[in-house]
Structure 1
């Protein structure tokens, strides 16, 4: 990956995060009957939503590059099959942590909301992995599932500790969108250009 390709990935992910935060934030505010006092409040509100989306996208990109480093090291240390099994186990443990261990063992979870979030993340991960396999090859299934489940859950731990469902939705939605975008676009970004 050269600087030009990285900048393309960086800026387009910023746009995805900002758009995701704006859409989800506005939907949450419409359902919460927020009162805005004039056009200035509206512009400040939109600016805050976009700013949060940009910050979430940068956080997502840090997680993505950390995942790529871990994946690179994992394939270097373990055999391909062993590394795939490790990713499956870690993704399953992350889901169990989100959906059950936080509630029943740690007594800090959101109960039903954590269960729903886990199911939504699993469904999105399956859809993204299916699309990634269609775009590339079958070997992309497990790494995509691992990234979309385990890395996304690790990235959302901070907002989960707040314990407010609206805050979780506001941060998790653009985060998932950025993660899905990055994993789906990576092979196109890395593809060498045809020389004419």
Structure 2
């Protein structure tokens, strides 16, 4: 992959992440922003949109760091274990551990008396289902060997990138932070084989 493709990947990921973060941020609180715009607060509305774009861009940059870190770790894993089957088995175990931890640690940190664990299962479950979908798409576009690495990247790497935001137990901000990560990670994992010309 040459420098032109690296620059293309960087800026497209940045723009997609920023736009998705701003879009979700606006949708989740659209009435407040729209009412402000209708009451003549145009400058405030523009500043809020710029601010949401900035948040999305920041998380897309975190996504890109995670992407290159995973590519490095993946190569090390294949080199150390000398077998993609062993490395894939390890990744499956880590996926299960991360999903379980995402439920358990959030529940123990934020769960209140009388509250069920179901609401804490929902996000990890949706993330896992989404990861399966993206992994399936990736494997159909390349080969079945890409399924587990793609699933690992979407579930585990996204969760690790999302950790700083998980301290906030506000659903609105959790989605504003998660969306650019997911969109940027999805874009990167699905465009990579096209940029390096591998079918």
**SS of the residue 1:108 aligns to:** helix
Change (3 A) 1:102 1:135: same
TM-score (norm 1): 0.91
**SS of the residue 2:109 aligns to:** coil
Task: State the partner residue of 2:163.
Answer: 157
Q: How far, CA to CA, are the matches of 1:51 and 1:5 in structure 2?
A: 24
The correspondence for 2:64, drawn from 42, 61, 64, is: 61
Q: How far, CA to CA, are the matches of 1:188 and 1:29 in structure 2?
A: 37
Establish whether residue 170 from structure 1 lines up as the match of residue 171 from structure 2.
Answer: no
Q: How far, CA to CA, are the matches of 1:11 and 1:29 in structure 2?
A: 27
**SS of the residue 1:82 aligns to:** helix
Aligned residue pairs: how many? 188
Q: How far, CA to CA, are the matches of 2:91 and 2:110 in structure 1?
A: 24
TM-score (norm 2): 0.89
Q: Give the gaps of 5 or more residues in structure 1.
A: none
Q: Give the gaps of 5 or more residues in structure 2.
A: 112-116
Q: How far, CA to CA, are the matches of 1:181 and 1:114 in structure 2?
A: 27
| Distance apart, 1:149 and its partner CA | 0.5
| Distance apart, 1:130 and its partner CA | 1.0
Q: How far, CA to CA, are the matches of 2:95 and 2:3 in structure 1?
A: 31
Establish whether residue 18 from structure 1 lines up as the match of residue 18 from structure 2.
Answer: yes
Root mean square deviation of aligned Cα: 1.5
